[in-house]
């Protein structure tokens, strides 16, 4: 596994819009606040041309987005690239991404949601670690939530243990100033759903947003089966979360990934809180998951601090992850080897 060098004080953080860009006034305020706060902590910021652009859900066309991204990859001083926003159309840039160049210039690449399209493909195509964590604008909240502090601490090379948070943001709230933190209003409780009172998982971490992963399966960017075979010694701990899959889509999607060989060597599964979920046929999230993964006879955890319902842990694709979960509380330790 290739691990990029961690960022150091005086280093440069690149910001680019791999999917959508910033358009609303509150988003611009949040973007500028994030740049200011990271600058005060000793970092340089390099923003690409279309971070402040949003046209029909895209910061720019796919080729332009890829060119701006690759320009940051080639900049030797850039050690960490963070996607500005999520969206729906990142896949349009993938045909123009030079994965060989990425392998030659290892750089931390971070984002979540639609950015799964780049974090997951870089890890599985280049055997290089990437970060499934917040998009850049979350660095603009004042003050920072513990999840954001953890994110920076980890990318500075500190091997911390992340623990489950106390409360999470159950709904979605419009920002008034642009500087708001997460609106945490519901108690966090990780759920072990395969019968174990305590679950202890360890293996290579791999995952992201299921809505995006289902678009990748079977394409030329899908090197997942080969990657998990390389991980056979340690096995894979899958972390997954869904944005808007209903019970039918979730069931069919997991079945598709299982049959495509993605879950060979799986040691267990950790699912984040779904952003939107509709129980078609009165099928709960738990029932949908177990109907496909139950036969694998590995531990499964739901309602984890991963994904769209913030706060979320920082997950490093490819790292060895050690997850413990008991009585609704959990911890994650990662080793980069």
pLDDT in tens, 28-49: 999 999 999 999 999 999 999 9
SS3 223: coil
| 171 and 129 together in one domain | no
Query: Per residue in 76-88, pLDDT tens?
Result: 999 999 999 999 9
pLDDT of residue 39: 98
The per-residue pLDDT for 292 is 98
- DSSP code for 292: H
Looking at residue 36, which CATH number applies to its domain?
A: 3.40.50.10740
Q: Domain check: are 43 and 76 in the same one?
A: yes
- pLDDT at residue number 173: 85
Q: What average pLDDT is seen over the chain? A: 97
| In a domain? residue 3 | no
Please give the residue range of the domain that contains residue 25: 12-160
Q: Are residues 184 and 295 both part of a single domain?
A: yes
E-assigned strands of the chain? 12-16, 44-47, 78-83, 108-111, 130-132, 161-163, 167-168, 186-187, 191-192, 198-209, 236-241, 266-272, 300-304, 315-317, 320-326, 329-335
Q: What is the pTM of this model?
A: 0.97
Strand ordering across the sheet containing 108-111: 44-47, 12-16, 78-83, 108-111, 130-132, 315-317
Mark whether 130 and 268 lie in a shared domain: no
pLDDT at 31: 98
For the chain, give the longest Cα–Cα distance: 55
Q: Is the pLDDT reported for residue 163 higher than 90?
A: yes
| Cα distance between residue 289 and residue 196, in whole Å | 16
Rounded to whole angstroms, the Cα distance separating 279 from 285 reads: 8
Write down which residue in 140, 160, 180 finishes a domain.
160
> What is the C-alpha to C-alpha distance for residues 328 and 56, in angstroms, rounded to an integer?
41
The pLDDT confidence band at residue 172, using thresholds 50, 70 and 90, is confident
- Return the structure tokens found at 224: 């997942």
Confirm whether 212 is domain-assigned: yes
Of 142, 160, 178, the domain-final residue: 160
242 part of a folded domain: yes
Q: For the segment 105-159, what is each residue's pLDDT rounded down to a tens digit?
A: 999 999 999 999 999 999 999 999 999 999 999 999 999 999 999 999 999 999 9
Residue 23 shares a structural domain with residue 91: yes
Q: What is the mean pLDDT of residues 299-310?
A: 97
Q: What is the mean pLDDT of residues 217-222?
A: 98
Judgement on whether residues 156 and 45 belong to the same structural domain of the protein: yes
Please determine, for residue 289, whether its predicted confidence score (pLDDT) is greater than 90.
yes
Does 171 score more than 90 pLDDT? no
pLDDT of residue 14: 98
Last residue within a domain, chosen from 134, 160, 186: 160
Both 115 and 199 in one domain: the answer is no
Task: Flag whether 315 is in a domain.
Answer: yes
The whole-number pLDDT of residue 174 equals 84
């Amino acid at each position: 596994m290739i691990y990029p060098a961690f960022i150091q004080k005086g280093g440069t953080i690149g910001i680019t819009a791999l999917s959508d860009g910033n358009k609303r006034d509150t988003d611009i305020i949040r973007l500028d606040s994030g740049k200011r706060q990271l600058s005060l902590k000793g970092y340089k910021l390099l923003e690409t041309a279309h971070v402040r652009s949003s046209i029909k859900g895209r910061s720019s066309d796919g080729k332009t987005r890829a060119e701006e991204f690759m320009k940051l990859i080639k900049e030797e001083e850039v050690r960490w690239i963070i996607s500005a926003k999520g969206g729906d159309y990142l896949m349009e840039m993938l045909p123009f991404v030079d994965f060989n160049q990425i392998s030659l210039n290892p750089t931390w690449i971070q984002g979540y949601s639609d950015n799964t399209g780049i974090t997951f493909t870089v890890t599985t195509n280049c055997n290089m670690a990437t970060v499934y964590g917040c998009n850049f604008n979350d660095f603009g909240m004042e003050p920072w939530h513990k999840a954001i502090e953890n994110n920076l601490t980890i990318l500075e090379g500190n091997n911390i243990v992340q623990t489950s948070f106390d409360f999470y943001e159950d709904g979605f709230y419009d920002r008034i100033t642009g500087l708001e933190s997460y609106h945490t209003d519901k108690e966090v409780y990780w759920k072990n759903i395969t019968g174990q009172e305590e679950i202890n998982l360890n293996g290579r971490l791999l995952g992201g947003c299921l809505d995006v992963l289902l678009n990748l399966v079977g394409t030329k960017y899908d090197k997942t089966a080969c990657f998990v075979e390389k991980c056979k010694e340690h096995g894979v701990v899958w972390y997954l979360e869904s944005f808007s899959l209903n019970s039918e889509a979730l069931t069919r999607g997991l079945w598709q990934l299982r049959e495509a060989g993605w879950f060979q060597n799986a040691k267990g599964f950790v699912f984040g809180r779904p952003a939107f979920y509709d129980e078609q046929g009165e099928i709960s999230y738990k029932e949908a998951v177990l109907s496909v993964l139950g036969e694998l006879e590995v531990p499964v955890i739901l309602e984890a601090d991963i994904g769209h319902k913030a706060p979320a842990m920082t997950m490093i694709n490819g790292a060895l992850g050690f997850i413990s979960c008991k009585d609704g509380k959990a911890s994650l330790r990662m080793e980069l080897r």
